[in-house]
Every structure is written in structure tokens, then in C-alpha cells.
Amino acid sequence: MNADQRREIFRRLALSIPDPRTELNHASTFELLVAVILSAQATDKGVNLATNRLFADASSPQAVLALGVTGLEAYINSIGLYHGKAKHIIETCRLLIDRHGGQVPDSRAALEALPGVGRKTANVILNTAFGHPVIAVDTHIFRLGNRIGIAPGKTPLAVEQKLTKSTPPEYLPDAHHLLILHGRYVCTARAPKCGTCVIRDLCEYKSKGPAT
């Protein structure tokens, strides 16, 4: 796939998704961080149901920390792996207060030093909250990178590096959400909706056969 094809793919995706943004409900960078930690192996819909209740009662590191692990679990026990996530979030709140004055840091290293925050979560925060031109490779983007042929790679990091290098600069700030939303609603894991896909003629899926 050449540079012109990649630019055309993003041009069409941008036209078909005029408001590319996260579907996780949040009113602050801290709320986004909590929601993204909770979203691992969970759906955005399920996370939103839990955080709508949580954030109505506790929307700051200080307030969530005051809940303690058991108190936080009462809000998030509908989410998979909630016990471990509660521990990570409580400790993250403690570190945000002790190290960052209660603010979410605008630094990959500082973000990845927080419990429950890996490269993908850090990239989501850097891109969504702070506008950094980075791409967080989740299952949707990993699938699309390989299926479409836009950034094939055997690991999420390899796909991320190829996307970062090959995405036209004007589309890089929104590329993360453009690809996620396209993967969530059109280029689905099973039975992709190729008949309504705006980039069907540019996609390599038809020549590769079914993708994982």
C-alpha cells in the first residue's frame, strides 16, 4: 500500500466519521484515565454504566482514594477483572496526589509509572486528553492494520510504529479514533460490513481472505 492510498483511506474515514472521539464518558482527564483503565477486556458501554454512578459520587483522585478498594469495587463490580482494577485505580490515585498534585501527567513515562497503565492506556490519554499525535493500538486497530494492509505487524507495537510513520501528518491526531470507530462499527472482527465500507476498493482484505 502506497502513501497516496493511505492518505485516501484516512480522507474517506474522516469524511464518514466527522466527530472522531472516544465513546467513554468523562468530564475530566482523571475520569478518562479511570475509564480507560477499566476498559481493558470490557466494553465501553459496560464501563460507562459503572462510571456514570462512580463519577456522580467520586470524580477526583482524592474522592476515589477515600472510597478504598472495597468501596470502589461496589461501583465497578459489573466489569471484568474489577478486583485487580480497583487496586490499580486506588494506588494510581495515591500516586497522582503524592507525585503530581492530583493531576494526570502529560508524560508517557509518568503515565506508565502508574499502576494499571501500560503503553496503550498511556497513548489513549496522551492523544485524547492532551492532543499528542500518537496511536493506541487496541484489538480493533491491530485487526485493521493487518486486515486493511495499512500497517501490517505481528505485535501491537509493530502496528503502532508503522501507523505512526505512515499516517499522513494531517490525519495523525485523529487516526486513533478514526480507526477504532471504523473497526467497531464497520470493519468488525466477524462478518465485516464490506458492502457499506467507504474504503472497500482500497482494502487488501478481499485479496487476503478472512482475517483474524
The grid coordinates listed for 6 are 493511505
- Looking at residue 41, what is its pLDDT? 85
169 CA to centre of own chain:
20
pLDDT tens-digit map of 91-147 = 999 999 999 999 999 999 999 999 999 999 999 999 999 999 999 999 889 999 999
The three-point CA angle 41-132-28 to 5° equals: 65
Distance (Å, whole) CA 199 – CA 183: 12
pLDDT at 210 over 50: no
- Percentage of the chain beyond pLDDT 90 is 89
Task: For residue 205, name the pLDDT band (cuts at 50, 70, 90).
Answer: confident
Distance (Å, whole) CA 136 – CA 76: 24
- Range 82-98 burial, b when 16+ CB lie within 10 A, else e: beebbebbbebbeebee
What count of other Cβ atoms lies within 10 Å of the Cβ of residue 71?
15
* Average pLDDT for the chain: 92
Instruction: Please provide residue 192's backbone torsions phi and psi, each rounded to the nearest 5 degrees.
Output: -60, 145
Residue 48 parent element (H or E):
helix 44-57
Distance (Å, whole) CA 124 – CA 14: 19
Section 31-53 average pLDDT: 94
Domains of the chain, with CATH numbers? Answer: 3-20+134-208 (1.10.1670.10), 29-128 (1.10.340.30)
- Looking at residue 207, what is its pLDDT? 46
Distance (Å, whole) CA 18 – CA 180: 14
pLDDT at 206 over 80: no
pLDDT at 203 over 60: yes
- Looking at residue 40, what is its pLDDT? 87
Distance (Å, whole) CA 26 – CA 32: 5
120 flagged as catalytic: yes
Residue 202 parent element (H or E):
none
- Looking at residue 148, what is its pLDDT? 93
What count of other Cβ atoms lies within 10 Å of the Cβ of residue 149?
19
Task: For residue 82, name the pLDDT band (cuts at 50, 70, 90).
Answer: very high
Distance (Å, whole) CA 131 – CA 129: 6
What amino acid occupies position 158?
Answer: A
Q: What's the full length of the chain, in residues?
A: 212
- pTM: predicted TM-score of the whole model, two decimal places: 0.88
Q: Which of 4, 19, 138, 193 is catalytic?
A: 138
138 flagged as catalytic: yes
Q: Which of 120, 162, 165, 174 is catalytic?
A: 120
The grid coordinates listed for 149 are 494492509
Burial class, 165, CB count within 10 angstroms (exposed 0-12 / middle 13-18 / buried 19+): exposed
